[in-house]
Structure 1
């Protein structure tokens, strides 16, 4: 995994994944299992069960020596293979070297300010990303990381050094609520938030808000925790995201979003605690 990236998809130009127009690279595999995940097919790696092969209308999936091989030239991206997958995965994966990935990025250089890596959870492939970012920065592009914060970044100094900034998802402040949403504890996430803010590499925090969750406490505690860095002049955006059912697994579609008035109240909590750049989406 160190010399190749396991890539789910690439969006050549995106304006919602960091500053300016960016190439967004989504890596396969995640250490969380959030019930409201909009990309559940990125959570696990393909186990080559072959159950998706008959579903492909263009025969773009084949069993080659016990492994599924995907032909992206004949694929029409109907995603029928993803719909029938029972393992939260996808057979449509690129196993690319740093050089192959850079060649794809180079095609977009006249139109982009940088790249953003996401997932899945991209930091699980930090060795590949450290090499990729080193090469991409030589092209004059910035490298942003969209992460769930579940990997202790203090232990990855080389990766952090070549990363220009991080966009950190904080699902909840309370550990029990975070466990309910993600099946993982929150302590490492909060440690990463403090660490990244302390070195002025925390570009954005993102919290998905759901009716019935303790959204007020989450946003109040997070913004209080980081307010000292705001007072030091560090610029940290807070993006408060209203829950949407689109793309969420059917068994979790019973949840609903807060009202617009509640969203405005959450925004005011962040502003009261010193945050100036607060966005509702």
Structure 2
């Protein structure tokens, strides 16, 4: 579920004494035993090279989506896996403390004063490791760093509500509008997901709703109408569609079933029309 990269909330990283003092104060109050299993940490520059986004892939996901391209992310711990190409075992993650991750996020001490655009937390389901997430997001917020979190929304309401004020940009992925169909393709019902989405719309975060359209699972005209009615009812104003064959998908990690067919422009336009007819922006 990797997020679309951008440069909101620019935070200038320098080697100034003031920043060093700020970092020392922030690190001094970090709970030392808070940690999380992370699969990867990446730094990605924007196209013009003016800023850098740190993307953190946390392990663990409560959903069992039929089309999941990274099923190893479901397990929240470090596992030893076999790589047949290199003919060797490797660990699919590593345990990081909050302090380690915070230092990695803020290590761009560039003499030409390049900037950090923010931090994106994804997974798996990043909110599964909610204690770690709360601590990390709290410190990033104190330091003025823009934060983005990608979520399936399948998180206990109390934990979701506690994290929401710390998130600048929330990317919410919906799998299916219908309760039983959602359980069939993900292993869980969507009641909790819908409630968390509804609550997020009245919170402080900018909320972006994304629908990954999987041929044979949620791509029919009646599916478009079902999504549109649900989202209009709970107050969503705008939706982004990502057909599985769309190369603009920012994550590049969505796969369709083997027997799936490609979306045509005409089919996508018809899908969008359902949302437009409900007075919702759709791109």
> Which bin holds the TM-score, normalised by the shorter protein?
0.7 to 0.9
Q: What residue is the counterpart of 2:259 in the other structure?
A: 254
Q: What residue is the counterpart of 1:243 in the other structure?
A: 244
Secondary structure at the counterpart of residue 208 of structure 1: strand
- Seen in structure 2, the aligned counterparts of structure 1 residues 274 and 247 have a Cα distance that, compared at 3 Å, is closer
Structure 1 residue 23: Cα displacement: 1.7
CA distance in 2, matches of 1:217, 1:118: 30
- Seen in structure 2, the aligned counterparts of structure 1 residues 100 and 205 have a Cα distance that, compared at 3 Å, is same
Q: What residue is the counterpart of 2:82 in the other structure?
A: 52
Structure 1 residue 11: Cα displacement: 2.1
CA distance in 2, matches of 1:240, 1:103: 35
After the TM superposition, which residues 116-155 of structure 1 pair with which residues of structure 2 at under 5 Å, given as runs?
116-155=120-159
- Seen in structure 2, the aligned counterparts of structure 1 residues 95 and 155 have a Cα distance that, compared at 3 Å, is closer
CA distance in 1, matches of 2:268, 2:66: 21
Structure 1 residue 155: Cα displacement: 4.3
Secondary structure at the counterpart of residue 52 of structure 1: strand
TM-score, normalisation: structure 2: 0.72
Whether 1:274 aligns to 2:279 is yes
CA distance in 2, matches of 1:247, 1:116: 16
Write out per-residue CA displacement over residues 98-147 of structure 1, whole angstroms, 9 at most, x where no aligned residue. Answer: 11001111124843321111101111001101100111122221112100
Structure 1 residue 152: Cα displacement: 2.9
Q: What residue is the counterpart of 1:168 in the other structure?
A: 172
- Seen in structure 2, the aligned counterparts of structure 1 residues 2 and 145 have a Cα distance that, compared at 3 Å, is farther
Structure 1 residue 21: Cα displacement: 5.5
Whether 1:31 aligns to 2:62 is yes
Unaligned runs of 5+ in 2: 1-31, 247-251
TM-score, normalisation: structure 1: 0.72
- Seen in structure 2, the aligned counterparts of structure 1 residues 46 and 199 have a Cα distance that, compared at 3 Å, is closer
CA distance in 2, matches of 1:112, 1:3: 24
Give the total of aligned pairs: 239
Write out per-residue CA displacement over residues 11-44 of structure 1, whole angstroms, 9 at most, x where no aligned residue. Answer: 212669xxx8632111011101112123222122
CA RMSD of aligned residues (A): 3.2
